[in-house]
């Protein structure tokens, strides 16, 4: 049997469409038998040195390009034969090449043949053959064809150590030999990385090695090669083991350089509509955010580190909003401590000010990242006035109020703007004044009115809640900061009456977030200790549904008391003497702020704050209560007081 005879087999019996489904069962059986004849001929003459075997293998490899011949090649035993001879040391180079072609072409899109490769145990042979440069153009496509879309092969390849060997190829001196196949190698490594053994077998420095190649000044890469290496590096860096290594060895700057190069290096910049590059850049943004949120980043990269300096520089890269966004995310994560936030603010404020006062304002992802960064910077009390000057002055064109009005179609950004406002108002009289100062000299409307308008029209509950919390933060400062004048308090209550009432109602009656209801009760209890505050709180409690919420808070768990004990206490507490004792007890208490982390204590503290509130409302001369409402509140005070004393006795 000659190579020409084999060639004729494929030519004479080929299906018209080339699809396996179009080959009749009879035709398929015929093909298998003809190929078994070929296999028999090869086996009979192999021992005597079949010189035509190279050409026969070449013809078989050519025939395997047709999908309809791939299953017959596997079922006839041809594929298994060539798998069996591959490890032979005496196998001549030309036959190795043709053997690889038979294996690779037979496995393309054919899981049955991929399974035969896995069962043959030849993955380790593939790994050893990677040391031969002359075989690489053939071997790499074989590995890809066997592994793609077939997890058993990927798992076997990982166990065989193919991953580390391929990484050595692309990160070492042999890069030039595999440059034409670099994208394929990166695809193979990405497949292997989905298998659990690879996470342990791979060198933890793998992403560092890949990024070193990608960022080399003498790199021979084109844009496609660079994108493949960066994408693969990012895939490794989604796993904790590789994150810890790059952070602990101080190699994060390699990632920053590669990310920057993807935008600024003319060899790697592409059409803005290139979806592959966009996806890689978005992945880089996500990985950088994850790395900068890691404890090791905070520990190993002080504010004086070159990595931090690069991130600060990125803030000014106005032509590259993705780099600016990445800088905001990373620096925001770095500023999670008060000390670092305080030190960082003067380093970034000029650039942030320029961005937020530019026309037009940044949009989309960058604007959201800027606001999130500023939220972290606004946590230290000392930073709040400075940031407030930037964002809340001058009225009526201040940045944050403008964002409240213009981001209705960007709910996440709108929420970030409102949340930042709340942080700036918390315990900061300077910023509270900016919220409650008239917008113009002849207008009583303030920024707080603009915020209330947003709360009214917002569809997103978190935005409504955050707006209401901002009003509570304002109330807390105006009622209890000694710097606030009586005139300011009077103006606030006169012109913001409805806003205060609506905000208290929103937070007190919502059921999704118990901590927010606790926050409202705490502030209401504080406010009730002043005449104006008590009037506002009483007005907020007028709707039956709101008042019922307060009753439920105070009377929660009264059913836990034993019936006899409950009756004795009730009899003793009736009459003026019992009520007077209860009022004295809770008027003397200070409202307590709930720690959301202590959920077990939340109901108890809510009840005590509610009792303080009721006691103060009953005492305040300026509060007008109906007889029915007063009677109910007196009963609430007695019942709640009974429950508090019982709990304290336990």
The b-or-e profile of 307-329 (16+ CB within 10 A means b, else e) is bbebbbebbebeebbbbbbbbbb
Is residue 68's pLDDT more than 50? yes
CB 428 within 8 A of CB 477: yes
pLDDT higher than 70, residue 503:
yes
Predicted pLDDT at 401: 96
- What is the spatial distance between Cα 317 and Cα 532, in angstroms, rounded to a whole number? 51
Q: Give the confidence band of 244 by pLDDT, cuts at 50, 70, 90.
A: very high
Mean pLDDT over residues 417-445, rounded?
94
Q: How confident is the model at residue 267 (pLDDT cuts 50, 70, 90)?
A: confident
Per-residue confidence (pLDDT) for residue 435, from 0 to 100 = 96
Residue 462 has pLDDT above 60, yes or no: yes
| Predicted pLDDT at 495 | 95
Residue 241 pLDDT greater than 90, yes or no:
yes
Residue 181: CA count within 13 A, CB half-sphere: 23
As a whole number of angstroms, the distance between CA 73 and CA 32 comes to 7
Q: Is the pLDDT of residue 285 over 80?
A: yes
Least confident range from 19-33, 497-511, 634-648: namely: 19-33
Instruction: Say if CB 208 and CB 245 are below 8 A apart.
Output: yes
**Are 510 and 465 contacting, i.e. CB atoms less than 8 angstroms apart?**
yes
Percent of the chain at pLDDT exceeding 70 = 90
- State the average pLDDT over residues 203-210: 98
Q: Which of 292, 183, 264, 195 is nearest to 231 (CA)?
A: 183
- Smallest CA-to-CA distance from 517 within 589, 465, 453, 451 is with 465
| pLDDT on residue 216 | 92
Task: Quote the DSSP letter at residue 437.
Answer: S
The pLDDT confidence band at residue 590, using thresholds 50, 70 and 90, is low
Residue 180 — pLDDT band, cuts 50, 70, 90? very high
Coil, strand or helix at 438 = strand
Separation between Cα atoms, residue 395 and residue 407, nearest integer Å:
18
Structural contact between residues 139 and 100, judged by C-beta atoms closer than 8 angstroms: yes
Q: What pLDDT is attached to residue 567? A: 27
Contact 510, 466 (CB under 8 A): no
Question: How many Å is the maximal CA-CA distance in the chain?
Answer: 119
**H-type helices in 556-626, by residue range?**
563-573, 576-587, 599-619
Q: What is the mean pLDDT of residues 356-365?
A: 89
Contact 549, 506 (CB under 8 A): no
Residue 300's nearest CA partner among 376, 246, 235, 239 is: 246
| Separation CA 347–CA 323 (nearest Å) | 18
Question: Once rounded to an integer, what is the mean pLDDT over residues 194-203?
Answer: 96
Work out the angle between the directed axes of helices 429-436 and 486-495 (0-180°, nearest 10): 40
d(CA 44, CA 21): 33
Whether residue 589 has pLDDT greater than 60: no
261-267: average pLDDT: 90
Range 161-187 average pLDDT? 96
pLDDT, position 88: 81
DSSP state of 127: H
pLDDT band at 597 (very low <50, low <70, confident <90, very high): low
| The model's pTM | 0.86
Q: How far is CA 34 from the centre of its chain?
A: 57
Going by C-alpha positions, the residue among 403, 376, 405 that lies closest to residue 391 is 403
Tell me how far apart the alpha carbons of residues 404 and 417 are, in angstroms, rounded to a whole number. 7
Predicted confidence at residue 584, as pLDDT, reads 52
Q: Does residue 394 have a cis bond before it (omega within 30 degrees)?
A: yes
pLDDT given for residue 574 in this prediction: 38
d(Cα 185, Cα 167) in Å, to the nearest integer? 9
Q: Poorest-confidence range of 130-144, 435-449, 454-468?
A: 435-449
How many residues comprise the chain? 650
Cis peptide before 470 (omega within 30 of 0): no
Instruction: Identify any residues that bridge with 446 across adjacent strands, giving them in sequence order.
Output: 438
Position 13 scores a pLDDT of: 62
pLDDT for the residue 573:
34
Instruction: Confirm if 415 and 451 have CB atoms less than 8 A apart.
Output: no
Would you say the C-alpha torsion 570, 575, 581, 587 has a positive or negative sign? positive
3-state secondary structure of 106: helix
237 close to 287: Cβ distance less than 8 angstroms: yes
Confidence of residue 17 (pLDDT cuts 50, 70, 90): low
Closest CA to 157 of 168, 145, 173: 145
Pairwise CA distance, residues 91 & 95, whole Å: 7
pLDDT given for residue 524 in this prediction = 96
- Span 176-187, average pLDDT: 96
Mean pLDDT of the region 566-592: 45
Band of pLDDT at residue 15, cut at 50, 70 and 90: low
> What is the C-alpha R_g of the chain?
37
pLDDT, residue 566, reads 30
506 pLDDT higher than 50: yes
Check: CB of residue 413 under 8 Å from CB of residue 368. yes
State the pLDDT at residue 7.
87
């Amino acid at each position: 049997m000659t190579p020409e005879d084999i060639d004729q087999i494929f030519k004479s019996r080929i299906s018209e469409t080339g699809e396996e489904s179009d080959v009749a069962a009879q035709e398929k059986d015929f093909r298998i038998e003809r190929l078994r004849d070929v296999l028999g001929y090869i086996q009979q003459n192999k021992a005597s040195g079949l010189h035509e075997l190279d050409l026969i293998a070449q013809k078989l490899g050519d025939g395997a390009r047709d999908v309809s011949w791939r299953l017959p090649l596997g079922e006839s035993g041809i594929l298994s034969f060539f798998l069996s001879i591959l490890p032979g040391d005496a196998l001549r180079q030309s036959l190795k090449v043709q053997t690889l072609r038979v294996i690779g072409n037979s496995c393309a899109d054919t899981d049955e043949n991929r399974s035969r490769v896995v069962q043959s145990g030849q993955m380790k042979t593939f790994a050893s053959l990677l040391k031969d440069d002359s075989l690489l153009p053939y071997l790499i496509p074989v590995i890809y064809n066997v592994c793609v879309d077939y997890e058993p092969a990927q798992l076997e390849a990982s166990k065989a150590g193919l991953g580390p060997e391929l990484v050595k190829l692309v990160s070492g001196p042999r890069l030039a030999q595999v440059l034409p196949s670099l994208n394929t190698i990166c695809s193979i490594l990405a497949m292997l990385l989905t298998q659990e053994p690879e996470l342990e077998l791979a060198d933890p420095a793998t992403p560092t090695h890949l990024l070193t190649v990608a960022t080399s000044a003498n790199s021979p890469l084109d844009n496609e090669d660079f994108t493949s290496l960066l994408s693969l590096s990012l895939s490794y860096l989604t796993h904790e083991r590789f994150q810890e290594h790059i952070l602990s060895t101080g190699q994060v700057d390699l990632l920053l350089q590669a990310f920057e190069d993807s935008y600024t290096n003319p060899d790697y910049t592409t059409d803005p509509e290139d979806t592959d590059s966009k996806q890689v850049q978005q992945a880089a943004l996500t990985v950088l955010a994850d790395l900068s949120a890691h404890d090791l980043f905070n520990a190993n990269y002080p504010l004086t580190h070159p990595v931090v300096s690069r991130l600060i520089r990125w803030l000014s890269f106005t032509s590259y909003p993705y780099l600016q966004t990445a800088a905001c995310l990373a620096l925001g994560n770095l500023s999670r401590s008060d000390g670092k936030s305080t030190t960082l603010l003067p380093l970034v404020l000029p650039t942030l000010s320029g961005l937020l006062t530019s026309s037009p304002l940044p949009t989309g992802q960058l604007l959201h990242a800027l606001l999130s960064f500023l939220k972290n910077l606004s946590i230290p009390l000392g930073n709040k006035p400075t940031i407030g000057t930037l964002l809340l002055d001058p009225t009526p064109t201040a940045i944050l109020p403008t964002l409240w009005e213009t981001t209705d179609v960007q709910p996440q950004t709108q929420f970030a703007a409102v949340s930042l406002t709340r942080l700036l108002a918390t315990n900061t009289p300077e910023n509270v004044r900016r919220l409650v100062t008239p917008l113009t000299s002849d207008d009583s409307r303030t920024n707080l009115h603009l915020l209330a308008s947003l709360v009214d029209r917002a569809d997103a509950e978190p935005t409504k809640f955050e707006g209401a919390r901002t009003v509570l933060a304002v109330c807390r400062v105006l009622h209890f900061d000694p710097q606030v004048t009586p005139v300011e308090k009077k103006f606030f209550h006169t012109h913001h009456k409805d806003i205060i009432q609506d905000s208290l109602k929103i937070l007190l009656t919502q059921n999704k977030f118990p901590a927010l209801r606790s926050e409202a009760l705490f502030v209401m209890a504080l406010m009730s200790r002043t005449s104006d505050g008590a009037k506002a709180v009483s007005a907020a409690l007028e709707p039956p549904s709101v008042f019922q919420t307060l009753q439920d808070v105070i009377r929660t768990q009264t059913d836990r008391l034993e019936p006899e004990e409950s009756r004795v206490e009730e009899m003793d507490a009736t009459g003026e003497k019992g009520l007077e004792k209860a009022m004295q007890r809770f008027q003397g208490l200070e409202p307590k702020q709930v720690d959301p982390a202590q959920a077990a204590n939340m109901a108890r503290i809510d009840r005590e704050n509610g009792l303080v509130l009721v006691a103060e409302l009953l005492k305040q001369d300026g509060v007008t209560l109906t007889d029915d409402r007063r009677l109910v509140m007196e009963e609430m005070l007695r019942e709640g007081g009974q429950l508090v004393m019982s709990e304290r006795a336990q």
